[in-house]
Structure 1
Amino acid sequence: MKPTRIRTAGVTAVAALALPMTLGVLAPQASADTPSPSSSMSSSSSASPSDNKPFGPGCSSLPSSGNGSTAEMVKARVVTAAEQNPDLSMLVSAIKQAGLTDSLNNAKDSTVFAPTNAAFHKLGKAKVAALLKDKVELKKVLSYHVVEKKEIKPSELANGSFTTLEGSKLTTSGSGDSYKVNGTAPITCGNISTANAKVYLVDGILMPPSS
C-alpha cells in the first residue's frame, strides 16, 4: 500500500507544478490578442472626418437654420451662398471687386478655400486696402484660393496637393478634424456644400508663390 500512496502523491505534485506553467504560457497570448484601450483611442482620434458632412471647430458658429446654415448654403451657388454667411462678408466684397462673381458662380464642381473676416483682419488694414486697390493682384490672390473642377473630399486633405485656378499649387496637411492649408492657414470649418462647389473656411489669406 505504501508504494501506491507515494506514486499518487508524485503525480499530484507534478500536476500542481504543470498548471502554473500552462497558465503562464496562455496568459501573454490572451493579452496580446486583446487590443489595449490606448491603441483603440489613438486609432480613432486620427481618423479622417466624414466625406458627407462639415467638420471643424468653426462649424459651431454657423447658423443652425435659415440664411448661412449648411441647409441653405447647399441650395445656392458658391458666391451667393457665401453672401449668406456674415463671417465671409469681406471675402464676398473682394470677389465682387475683382469681378469674379459670375465665373465662380458658374464654375462646376470646384473647391473654394474661403478666408473668413478674421483672416482678412490678420493681414492688416493697410495690406487689405492695398490689395483691394490692385485689381490684377486681387484677382490673382483670390484665384489662388480656388481649385477648379474638383470638389475636394476631407479624406484627401491629409497629404493633398492641388492646382489652383491661379495656376500654382497649394497643399493641405493634418489629421482628425485638424487641417492646414500650405502649413499655415487652419481650416476652421470644412466640407460645406453649395450648389456648385465645396467650401472650406480658412483662418488665413493664401498668397500665390509668385506674389
Structure 2
Amino acid sequence: MKSIKVVAVALLATLGSFSIQAQASKTVVENAVGSKDHTTLVAAVKAAELVDVLSSKGPFTVFAPTNDAFAKLPKGTVEFLLKPENKAALQGILTYHVVAGNLDSKAVVEAITKGKGSVTLTTVQGGKLVASLSGKNVILTDEKGNKSTITAVDITSSNGVIHVIDTVVMPKS
C-alpha cells in the first residue's frame, strides 16, 4: 500500500505547464484550448466536430497527446487526418483517447494494483487501452502495441479529468 501512495504522489508531482493554465470550472475542451502544448489536439477536436461532445456533462477521462506526440506520427499523418473526408477516422482516433468516467491518477494506480500490474480501459471509441506501471510512470499500451507515458496528471475540469501523454495511441482500425 505504501508503494501505491509513493507512485500516486510521484504522479501528482509531474504536473506540467498545462495545469498552471487549467481551471476546474472549465470543460476538458476549454482547458485544452488554454494549453500551448495542445494546439494540434485542439485543431483535431475541431476538425472531427467533437467540441460539443467533449464539452457536454461527461464525466470524461481524456488522455491528451501533446503537439510533440502528434509530431512523432509518420510525416503527413496529421494533415491527412485533418481533411474533411477523413473525419470518421479522426473521430475514431480521438475518441480512443477518451474513457467514460472520472479516473484521476489515484484511481488509475489503484486499478493497476488491483489488476496485479495492469488494467484494461475501454475507450469511448470501443477499443481497449492497457495501463501499467513502469517505475513511477503510468504507461498506456494501445491495441497495436505502441506505448505512451503519462507525463502530467489530474488536470481537473468541470466535466472530467485530463492526463497528458507523450505519444498518440492508436486503435486497431
| TM-score bracket relative to the smaller structure | 0.7 to 0.9
Contact 2:12 2:105 in 1 (8 A): no
Distance 1:197 1:129, change over 3 A: same
Question: Is 1:169–2:128 an aligned residue pair?
Answer: yes
Structure 2 counterpart of 1:206: 169
Post-superposition offset of 1:63: 6.5
Structure 2 counterpart of 1:61: 17
Number of residue pairs aligned between Structure 1 and Structure 2: 158
Q: Gapped runs of 5+ residues in structure 2?
A: 113-117
Q: Give every structure 1 segment of 4 or more consecutive aligned residues whose post-TM-superposition deviation is greater than 3 Å.
A: 43-46, 60-64
Question: Is 1:197–2:160 an aligned residue pair?
Answer: yes
How far apart, CA to CA, are the structure 2 residues paired with 1:63 and 1:166?
A: 26
Matches of residues 42-191 of structure 1 in structure 2 within 5 Å?
Answer: 47-50=6-9, 54-56=12-14, 59-62=15-18, 64=20, 68=21, 70=22, 73-133=23-83, 134-148=86-100, 150-155=101-106, 156-157=108-109, 158=112, 159-174=118-133, 177-182=136-141, 184-191=147-154
Post-superposition offset of 1:107: 3.7
Contact 2:19 2:155 in 1 (8 A): no
Post-superposition offset of 1:160: 2.1
How far apart, CA to CA, are the structure 2 residues paired with 1:45 and 1:100?
A: 35
Distance 1:111 1:45, change over 3 A: closer
Q: Gapped runs of 5+ residues in structure 1?
A: 1-42
| Structure with greater helix share of residues | 1
Post-superposition offset of 1:186: 0.6
How far apart, CA to CA, are the structure 2 residues paired with 1:89 and 1:199?
A: 15
Contact 1:185 1:202 in 2 (8 A): yes
Q: Which moved more, 1:153-162 or 1:130-139?
A: 153-162
Q: 1:84 corresponds to which letter in structure 2?
A: G
How far apart, CA to CA, are the structure 2 residues paired with 1:132 and 1:126?
A: 10
| Structure with greater strand share of residues | 2
Percent identity between the aligned chains? 34
How far apart, CA to CA, are the structure 2 residues paired with 1:95 and 1:166?
A: 14
Question: For the pair shown, which has the larger CA radius of gyration, 1 or 2?
Answer: 1
Post-superposition offset of 1:102: 0.3
Q: TM-score by structure 2 length?
A: 0.81
Contact 1:112 1:146 in 2 (8 A): yes
Report the secondary structure of 2:90's partner residue.
helix
Q: TM-score by structure 1 length?
A: 0.68
